[in-house]
């Protein structure tokens, strides 16, 4: 039991995965420019509420299905190998892409602190983004560090996560108070509140990316066999984490809005950091950087755990090589960790812009998994109320997918992301055909 996860461990894992790099950068590059403060807050609230409805489907899943692998093994057992593979193939990229994204974010933090002095040995451009050897090495070092921590065991990685999340939340609150004293609320009131206009289009743009923003909540079913408490109680932890994530995203958006108009914010590489530096000074900026680095670390750690657990489950159901079930003396699926690490180490060589295109797909990939879980839970629910809530989860999941793929949707995926999405689906189709053909001949 000493190696099992308690409620605070799970809270730290989920919250650390929900509050990642995007919460610190989106205010400048997306939220204020596209949706302002109030419409962003409404979008986050509606999207978070939608995820809480979807969580009901997950609650039913954990009541009836206490296996690692979460959504994948649930779909596999309930609907068969093909549907299980679709869910697993969707989630593996969804989880894996966030690991190198956060690792390259570490490099951006270093560039913010030390300027372009860390960029040496130019290699090439990918999608207009320059790739430097030193940046690849820095991102790779971060990935390897967290791989080493995870190989040491789930207890070790969880302890690290607990400390990081504590610094993350406390530093954000300190910076908020300091900014309120440093800037006042004049810009926030005059720019974003006094002339506020309700816009469904602006709200929809935020709702569309919510599956990606809050995908961290589904780490819980991935570690179902490592819980020290009954799985049913994990639902309260998930709901609290989602609610906390809504608040933190909103706070960071408000902090940026205290200093900048939408036009000003979008002109800065890191509007939030610039706002804090200009109005609070170096101490406030360093607190923000520490919060950012803990958020990035939490994302890497959380999604390395979930992706390795998912990979092991795929292996257990003979959709990946059996060697990924191998455990070390600390009960860690060491080959799964190494595989996740290897793929993550390849990503920085393609440049951050390509990683972002792939991560943008994560909202759609996550929504597909949500749809499966809620549909299966609807079919399996034991009472009318659970059936009703699960059906609402189905409708919400379909709405998320529609927002991301319909041509007239304000939140539809970019063309590069759609191309990557199609490529990943085609790759999955051929992998499934070849691997199942190989199994049939064994």
pLDDT digits (tens, 9 = 90+) for 178-189: 999 988 889 999
Distance CA 18, CA 237 (A): 13
* pTM of the predicted protein model: 0.86
CA Rg, the chain, in Å? 21
Residue 139: CB atoms within 10 Å: 27
Q: For domain 7-441, which CATH number applies: 1.20.1740.10, 1.10.10.10, 3.30.465.10, 3.30.1490.20? A: 1.20.1740.10
Residue with tokens 């650390």: 16
| Nearby residues of 16 by Cβ (< 8 Å), 6 or more positions away | 161, 164, 165, 168, 216, 294, 295, 297, 298, 299, 301, 302
Residue 73: CB atoms within 10 Å: 25
Distance CA 79, CA 248 (A): 37
Phi then psi for residue 84, to 5 deg, are -60, -40
Q: Which helix (H) or strand (E) holds 370?
A: helix 352-380
Q: Which helix (H) or strand (E) holds 141?
A: helix 133-151
DSSP state, 84? Answer: H
pLDDT digits (tens, 9 = 90+) for 15-58: 888 887 778 888 988 899 999 999 999 999 999 999 998 988 98
How much is the pLDDT for 231? Answer: 67
Distance CA 193, CA 44 (A): 17
> Facing residues of 5 across strands?
227
**How big is the CA angle at 372 (ends 232 and 332), to the nearest 5 degrees?**
60
Tokens of 319: 């959709």
Is the distance from CB of 177 to CB of 7 less than 8 angstroms?
Answer: no
Burial group, residue 130, by CB count within 10 angstroms (0-12, 13-18, 19+): middle
Side-chain half-sphere of 238: how many Cα atoms within 13 Å? Answer: 26
Distance in angstroms between the alpha carbons of the first and the last residue of the chain:
39
Domain ranges of the chain: 7-441
How much is the pLDDT for 1? Answer: 40
Distance CA 249, CA 115 (A): 26
Is the distance from CB of 187 to CB of 24 less than 8 angstroms?
Answer: no
Distance CA 150, CA 350 (A): 25
Digitized pLDDT (tens) for each residue of the chain, 442 residues in all: 445 677 788 888 888 888 877 788 889 888 999 999 999 999 999 999 999 989 889 888 988 887 777 889 899 999 999 999 999 999 988 888 888 888 887 787 777 777 777 788 888 888 778 888 998 998 899 889 888 887 877 666 677 777 888 888 899 999 999 999 988 889 999 999 998 999 999 999 899 888 878 887 877 877 767 777 676 778 888 888 899 999 999 999 999 999 999 999 988 878 898 899 889 988 998 888 888 888 877 778 778 888 888 888 888 888 888 888 877 777 777 888 888 899 889 888 888 777 777 777 888 898 999 999 999 999 998 889 989 999 999 999 999 999 889 888 887 888 888 888 999 999 999 988 887 777 655 5
């Amino acid at each position: 039991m000493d190696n099992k996860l308690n409620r605070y461990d799970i809270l730290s894992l989920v919250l650390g995965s929900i509050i990642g790099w995007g919460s610190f950068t989106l205010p400048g590059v997306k939220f204020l420019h596209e949706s302002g403060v109030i419409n962003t807050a409404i979008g986050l609230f509606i999207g978070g509420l939608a995820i809480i409805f979807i969580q009901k489907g997950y609650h039913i899943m954990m009541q009836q299905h206490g296996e690692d692998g979460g959504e994948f093994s649930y779909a596999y057992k309930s609907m068969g190998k093909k549907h299980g593979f679709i869910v697993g193939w969707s989630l593996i990229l969804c989880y894996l892409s966030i690991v190198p994204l956060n690792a390259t974010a570490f490099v951006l933090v270093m560039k913010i602190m030390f300027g372009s002095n860390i960029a040496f040995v130019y290699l090439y451009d990918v999608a207009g983004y320059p790739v430097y050897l030193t940046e690849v090495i820095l991102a790779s070092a971060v990935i390897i560090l967290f791989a080493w921590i995870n190989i040491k065991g789930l207890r070790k990685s969880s302890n690290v996560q607990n400390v990081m999340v504590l610094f993350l939340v406390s530093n954000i609150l300190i910076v908020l108070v300091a900014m309120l004293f440093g800037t006042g609320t004049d810009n926030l009131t005059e720019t974003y509140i006094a002339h506020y206009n309700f816009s469904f289009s602006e709200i929809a743009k935020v709702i569309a990316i919510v599956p990606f923003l809050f995908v961290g909540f589904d780490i819980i079913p991935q570690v179902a066999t490592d819980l020290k408490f009954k799985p049913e109680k994990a639902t309260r932890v998930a709901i609290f984490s989602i609610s906390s994530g809504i608040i933190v995203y909103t706070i960071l958006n408000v902090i940026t809005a205290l200093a900048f108009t939408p036009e000003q914010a979008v002109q800065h590489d890191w509007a939030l950091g610039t706002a804090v530096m200009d109005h609070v000074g170096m101490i406030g900026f360093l607190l923000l950087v520490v919060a950012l680095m803990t958020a990035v670390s939490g994302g890497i750690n959380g999604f390395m755990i979930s992706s390795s657990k998912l990979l092991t489950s795929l292996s257990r159901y003979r959709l990946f090589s059996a060697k990924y079930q191998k455990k070390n003396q600390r009960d860690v699926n060491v080959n799964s960790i190494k595989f996740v690490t290897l793929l993550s180490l390849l990503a920085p060589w393609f440049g951050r812009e390509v990683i972002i295109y792939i991560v943008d797909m994560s909202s759609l990939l996550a929504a597909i998994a949500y749809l499966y879980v809620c549909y299966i839970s609807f079919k399996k629910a034991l009472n009318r109320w659970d059936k009703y809530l699960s059906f609402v989860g189905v409708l919400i999941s379909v709405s998320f997918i529609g927002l991301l793929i319909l041509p007239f949707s304000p939140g539809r995926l970019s063309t590069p992301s759609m191309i990557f999405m199609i490529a990943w689906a085609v790759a999955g189709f051929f992998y499934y055909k070849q691997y199942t053909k190989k199994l049939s001949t064994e």
